[in-house]
Structure 1
Amino acid sequence: MPEPDPTMDSYLARWSDIAEALVWDTPFTELFRSRPPLHDWFVGGSLNLSVNCIDRHLDDHGDREAILWEGEPGERRVLTYRELHAQVERLAAGLRELGVGPGGRVALHLGWVPETVVAMMACARTGAEYTVIPVALPVEALAIRVDDFRPQVILTQDGGWRHGAILPLKARLDEALEASSGVEHTVVVRRTGIQVDWYEGDRWYDDLVGNADPSGGAPVSVAAAHPVACVHLANRRGHPVAIRLGTANLAVVALANHLHSLGDGDVFWGAADIAWLGAQAHGVVGPLLAGARTVMYEGTLDIPDPARTWQIIERYDVTAMLTSPSIVRALRSWSLTPTGSTGSLRRLTTIGDRLDPDLRAWLGEVLGDEVALADAWGQLELGGVVTSDRPVDDRMPAAGFIILGTDGSPVAPGEAGEWAMLRPWPGLLRDVEAPEGTDPTSYHWERHPGFYATGDLARLTPTGQIEFLGRVDEVITVSGQLVSLNEVRDVLLDQPFVADADSFETTDQRLGRVVGAAVVLAPGTSWTAAMLRDLQDAARELLGGLSRPYRLLVLDRLGGDLDPVARRQALAVLAHAHEHRSVTWDQVVQAARDLPVS
């Protein structure tokens, strides 16, 4: 058990200061009540997230830009706080007409378009819970996600721009809904103008908003812990696992991060997929709570050319940016330096993977010494970012961390152990929805009682830096999204010509962290390039694009003479040298022997 924390009072006092900056319909009577493992925060308080993000700014700067949006083909839109308020009010009224109220559920199968933010805020305004479903999910995975969340209403687009092409989002959703039940209405945003089929319960977004009476969009006051957002983790046993985030819990942590860790200046850009919680919490909620301007870009950053990133920074005078190391690696692979001026940029923070020293050095060369480069750490279960190695100031409440060995005692510098959080965190999830026996939160408290065990392996370097070494479990982060290696392995084992399989984490110079896999083929089967592509496609179609094994090895067998960690590390090494090649188990064993000692 951890020792009593003498700084707990000052830690809670900082959270109190941040929480009291919000507008509360009913002030909380108790900031923190110890009730392990989730604890209670802002006890007795009630509020509305939409009011805090939008309404409270109207008197002082209602005509200030809230959203600076740019579409992949080049269109631009600006919404002021007053205009955003009007749209949110009308959509909230429209959702109520469709039967959505407190405790209701709305799925957003939308890309980075202004209507996504309007929908997030409208759900919060009505007391409903939303989830953002990635637009790139294949039909089968989309159907599973919809079935799992069970929404009354789904918002989607006719089509969405992605990497110069139009994805038929409405058509994909229609196909997914053939295997689903319970969805009463589909609301469609006109984005690309492509032809779509129409079914009972379908509504155009513009018609729903245009015909709604804004007086029906009054905000609902909800309890502090009332679920506002549902976020899906990596699948367990073929089924989605979801966590539910509380309204005040998300708001307070997002505001704290924007003010003291991520934001710097008045224009913030969360350059990440909106389906990722980091983009929702820190690219939308945090900036809006702070009354800032937030940049939103629809597409991929190499369309129409790889200079798009620098052009957006210059065009909108971006002062702070949040993105992932995988995106930074892509920028580096394009061998780009800014073509215009990035003089407005003061801070660039990465999250999702570790910012490797070589990437940090490259960014320093490109952006110069005047741009603060930070590497942040967080988890979906904790509501986003928790800590940064270079915060804006020292007022961000520090959760405190320690590296523990398997026996629960602190490890010596240089030794590997599990990174554990010392103090309770207000952004922690409020509920879990998972198949029976697969609760993803139980292991956070069972291994090291009294601490929040993060599941991340780490060690302290001689220079005092934290080096992350992977995961305790078999879930990895790829481009900010969680991928279960067990799920990838199970998909491969289901293929008729595969006798045995394993999956592992590896890296690519351009993409960063990716999934690798090794397969043993059924007797008498010879591999072909087409067969390996089929294996990759099977994982992509069932689990999503980030689960696609980027590197594949064909083995003669998978022996039992290596522990799982050493086996996967050895396979990762061989995958770099023998991508899509046959290797022997003896080579795997030798590679394991050659691994450097941690």
Structure 2
Amino acid sequence: KEVRKLTYYDLYKMVNRMATVFRRNFGIKKGDKVGLYMPMVPELPVAMLALARIGATFSVVFSGFSADSLAERMNDAEAKMIITANGFYRRGKIVNLKPIVDEAVEKSPTVKNVIVFRRIPDLDTPMTEGRDYWWSELLNGTEENAYIEPEHLPSEFPLYILYTSGTTGKPKGIVHDTGGYMTVLHATMKWVFDIKDKDVFWCAADIGWVTGHSYIVFGPLMEGATEIMYEGAPTFPEPDRWWAMIERYGVTVYYTSPTAIRTLMKFGDQWVRRHDLSTLRILHSVGEPINPEAWRWYFEVIGGKRCPVGSTWWMTETGGIMISHLPGYALVPLKPGTNGLPIPGVNADVVDESGNSATPGSKGYLVIKNPWPGMPLTIHRDPDKFVQTYFSRFEGSYYAGDYAIKDEDGYIWVLGRADEVLNVAGHRLGTYEIESSLVGHKAVAEAAVIGVPDEVKGEVPMAFVTLRESFEPNDELRKELHNWVRKTIGPIADPGKIFFVSSLPKTRSGKIMRRVLKAVLTQQSLGDITTLEDQASVDEVKQAYERLKSEISE
């Protein structure tokens, strides 16, 4: 294994040296835009912090994106420079990054320079003279104790632009400020994670997404926390990779995604039992609703029934956690699958089609009714779309685009994206509800549900499931699952078909790529996939599409 350990003083020196390089060698100054396209190595947060120190606005692009996707984002940001690595390791294989950057730069006229971190020592890396520079050589010309005075900025000065997109439209450049963003992160590191000097914090996300921005880079470092940063997959080389790391480093506060939990759950408890996880004291999840069955496994098997388990709700646009259980503030009773209550100062509500508060227990749309620290400044270069997307649906409120329920105790249960709600014969059903039902069955590890058009019912749910290790797919089990859904939800929710698959198509951060599933079932081509999901790599999508097609046809 490869391990690097950095003290805060090490980080301080690295940040000042790179800030010196940016300013002295390339003339980067306050207000300039710089792109980052890097793997999970310490040099990524170093570059982010160095750019922030001199007042430059950075834009991190996930390293799984294609050259076209990278170019599209760099052109919108009007980036002057891209910082990258020559490659990185993924499941034991080398991924070559630099050729992707070279192709993107050809289509990005504002990009004048590329800095390359040599992650893979012996990888053949083409360098363009006068444009490309090695990170190490730039540092060699910079004194060890270089110091750059931090740029003094107003609170609302743009810290970064992070691009987010759904299944349609060009990516939206969400702009976050400096002061408000730090405020929400300080509050949530204390309230949600109860962070203390003795803790070892691990957010198992990628810095290419907002979770990594907020809860790997800025939040934990602002609090002076000891934390882990990991480059690699959760199941390579073995399914206990993460549990071994928790034991090795004595992790106390752990933050991961429901999909990762379900993925690891399907390998069985034996991989967990090999390790001592007694240092854990707080568990949280992020990225999507957590099924009650996955919540119970997380609580019982990983947390040993002693750790509070939260399911945080927030999004790229909010900057930080908005709804969650708060072990560091006031811990209310836990309910498997709920997101909990809004954090102090956030007036989140569930409303009906008319914008009126929904009755407790009924489904509606999630909104935030007041401003909050860390809310987005705008969509970069498109303020009209900012208003249209988030503030036009329900006057005076921020519309999150999620479907949710508020129960009689005020707990909010996010059911998934509003555009993932099916209309089956006039009944509105969230895909999450059907997925949760299926995952509640002892044989099912993961489930994904989509809707396909139907002449009679309007839409019919279709389900894809992966099974736990001790179960085999057969018609008898399929029939049992149909009956299970009918029993746990009702006949209206019974999927038209249930498909057994070896795995679900996911992005590297664990989100299920439902568009791939729908394209397979409706016999459509995958089409333009560059804006499929924030986390999607083009090759991953194509491979998942072809694999699913072959499995379904067998």
Fold match, TM over 0.5? yes
Quick one: distance in 2 between partners of 1:519 and 1:324? 25
Corresponding residue to 2:233 among 292, 300, 303: 300
**Contact 1:402/1:419 (<8 A) preserved:** yes
Quick one: distance in 1 between partners of 2:416 and 2:464? 12
The answer to whether structure 1 residue 469 and structure 2 residue 415 are counterparts is yes
Listed one character per residue, the Cα deviations across residues 486-521 of structure 1 (whole Å, up to 9, x for unaligned) are: xxxxxxxxxxxxxxxx99997755656431454699
Quick one: distance in 2 between partners of 1:444 and 1:538? 25
- Structure-2 residue corresponding to 1:81: 8
Unaligned residue ranges in structure 1 (runs of 5+): 1-73, 479-501, 554-574, 583-598
Q: What SS class does the counterpart of residue 299 from structure 1 fall into?
A: coil
Corresponding residue to 2:257 among 324, 340, 354: 324
Q: What SS class does the counterpart of residue 215 from structure 2 fall into?
A: helix
By how many angstroms is 1:388 displaced?
Answer: 0.5
- Structure-2 residue corresponding to 1:35: none
- Structure-2 residue corresponding to 1:593: none
The answer to whether structure 1 residue 207 and structure 2 residue 154 are counterparts is no
**Contact 1:232/1:240 (<8 A) preserved:** yes
Quick one: distance in 2 between partners of 1:541 and 1:385? 25
1:98-109 to structure 2, matched below 5 A, reads 98-109=26-37
Corresponding residue to 2:224 among 291, 298, 304: 291
1:393-412 to structure 2, matched below 5 A, reads 393-394=329-330, 397-412=344-359
Corresponding residue to 1:280 among 204, 213, 223: 213
The answer to whether structure 1 residue 447 and structure 2 residue 409 are counterparts is no
- Structure-2 residue corresponding to 1:592: none
Quick one: distance in 1 between partners of 2:149 and 2:114? 23
Corresponding residue to 1:198 among 127, 135, 150: 127
Listed one character per residue, the Cα deviations across residues 369-419 of structure 1 (whole Å, up to 9, x for unaligned) are: 122211101121111211213442239524132211111211222221111
Q: Which amino acid aligns with 2:91?
A: H
Corresponding residue to 1:351 among 286, 309, 312: 286
The answer to whether structure 1 residue 386 and structure 2 residue 313 are counterparts is no
400-409 or 332-341: bigger deviation: 332-341
- Structure-2 residue corresponding to 1:558: none
Quick one: distance in 1 between partners of 2:88 and 2:520? 39
Q: What SS class does the counterpart of residue 328 from structure 1 fall into?
A: helix
312-321 or 391-400: bigger deviation: 391-400
Distance 1:103 1:507, change over 3 A: farther
Quick one: distance in 2 between partners of 1:297 and 1:360? 23
Quick one: distance in 1 between partners of 2:282 and 2:252? 7
Listed one character per residue, the Cα deviations across residues 123-156 of structure 1 (whole Å, up to 9, x for unaligned) are: 1101011111111112222222222222111111
**Contact 2:170/2:531 (<8 A) preserved:** no
By how many angstroms is 1:243 displaced?
Answer: 1.0
**Contact 1:537/1:548 (<8 A) preserved:** no
The TM-score normalised by the length of structure 2 is 0.74
Distance 1:371 1:148, change over 3 A: same
- Structure-2 residue corresponding to 1:262: 193
Q: What SS class does the counterpart of residue 386 from structure 1 fall into?
A: coil
By how many angstroms is 1:210 displaced?
Answer: 2.6
The answer to whether structure 1 residue 416 and structure 2 residue 409 are counterparts is no
- Structure-1 residue corresponding to 2:117: 189
- Structure-1 residue corresponding to 2:473: none
Quick one: distance in 2 between partners of 1:474 and 1:364? 27
Unaligned residue ranges in structure 2 (runs of 5+): 332-342, 423-430, 432-458, 467-502, 505-510
388-397 or 272-281: bigger deviation: 388-397
Q: Which amino acid aligns with 2:125?
A: V
Listed one character per residue, the Cα deviations across residues 133-189 of structure 1 (whole Å, up to 9, x for unaligned) are: 111112222222222222111111111111221110112111221222121111111
Quick one: distance in 2 between partners of 1:397 and 1:325? 25
- Structure-2 residue corresponding to 1:21: none
Quick one: distance in 1 between partners of 2:246 and 2:527? 36
- Structure-1 residue corresponding to 2:158: 227
**Contact 2:171/2:531 (<8 A) preserved:** no
Q: Which amino acid aligns with 1:449?
A: E
Listed one character per residue, the Cα deviations across residues 181-200 of structure 1 (whole Å, up to 9, x for unaligned) are: 12111111111121100103
- Structure-1 residue corresponding to 2:378: 431
- Structure-1 residue corresponding to 2:335: none
Distance 1:176 1:255, change over 3 A: same
Q: Which amino acid aligns with 1:224?
A: S
**Contact 2:308/2:327 (<8 A) preserved:** no
Quick one: distance in 2 between partners of 1:268 and 1:505? 39
- Structure-2 residue corresponding to 1:115: 43
By how many angstroms is 1:447 displaced?
Answer: 2.4
**Contact 1:508/1:514 (<8 A) preserved:** no
**Contact 2:200/2:249 (<8 A) preserved:** yes
Corresponding residue to 2:537 among 522, 533, 545: 545
Q: What SS class does the counterpart of residue 388 from structure 1 fall into?
A: coil
Quick one: distance in 1 between partners of 2:460 and 2:55? 41
The answer to whether structure 1 residue 154 and structure 2 residue 82 are counterparts is yes
The answer to whether structure 1 residue 124 and structure 2 residue 123 are counterparts is no
Q: Which amino acid aligns with 1:249?
A: G
Distance 1:463 1:338, change over 3 A: farther
Q: What SS class does the counterpart of residue 139 from structure 2 fall into?
A: helix
**Aligned-CA RMSD value:** 3.4
By how many angstroms is 1:542 displaced?
Answer: 7.7
Quick one: distance in 2 between partners of 1:238 and 1:80? 43
**Contact 1:91/1:217 (<8 A) preserved:** no
**Contact 1:351/1:377 (<8 A) preserved:** yes
Quick one: distance in 2 between partners of 1:153 and 1:506? 45
- Structure-2 residue corresponding to 1:47: none
The answer to whether structure 1 residue 370 and structure 2 residue 306 are counterparts is yes
The TM-score normalised by the length of structure 1 is 0.69
Quick one: distance in 2 between partners of 1:304 and 1:410? 49
- Structure-1 residue corresponding to 2:21: 94
- Structure-1 residue corresponding to 2:172: 241
**Contact 1:224/1:248 (<8 A) preserved:** yes
Distance 1:434 1:104, change over 3 A: closer
The answer to whether structure 1 residue 217 and structure 2 residue 148 are counterparts is yes
Quick one: distance in 2 between partners of 1:323 and 1:174? 33
- Structure-2 residue corresponding to 1:56: none
By how many angstroms is 1:309 displaced?
Answer: 0.3
Quick one: distance in 2 between partners of 1:549 and 1:416? 35
**Contact 2:166/2:531 (<8 A) preserved:** no
Quick one: distance in 1 between partners of 2:537 and 2:79? 24
**Contact 2:69/2:530 (<8 A) preserved:** no
Quick one: distance in 2 between partners of 1:248 and 1:172? 34
Corresponding residue to 1:137 among 65, 70, 85: 65
Q: What SS class does the counterpart of residue 35 from structure 2 fall into?
A: strand
Distance 1:257 1:455, change over 3 A: same
Q: What SS class does the counterpart of residue 548 from structure 1 fall into?
A: helix
Distance 1:518 1:401, change over 3 A: closer
Q: Which amino acid aligns with 2:51?
A: C
Q: Which amino acid aligns with 1:408?
A: G
Q: Which amino acid aligns with 1:104?
A: D
Q: What SS class does the counterpart of residue 140 from structure 2 fall into?
A: helix
Listed one character per residue, the Cα deviations across residues 462-495 of structure 1 (whole Å, up to 9, x for unaligned) are: 786433233335799x9xxxxxxxxxxxxxxxxx
Quick one: distance in 2 between partners of 1:465 and 1:579? 40
Aligned residues with identical type, % of pairs? 30
- Structure-1 residue corresponding to 2:95: 167
Quick one: distance in 1 between partners of 2:257 and 2:218? 18
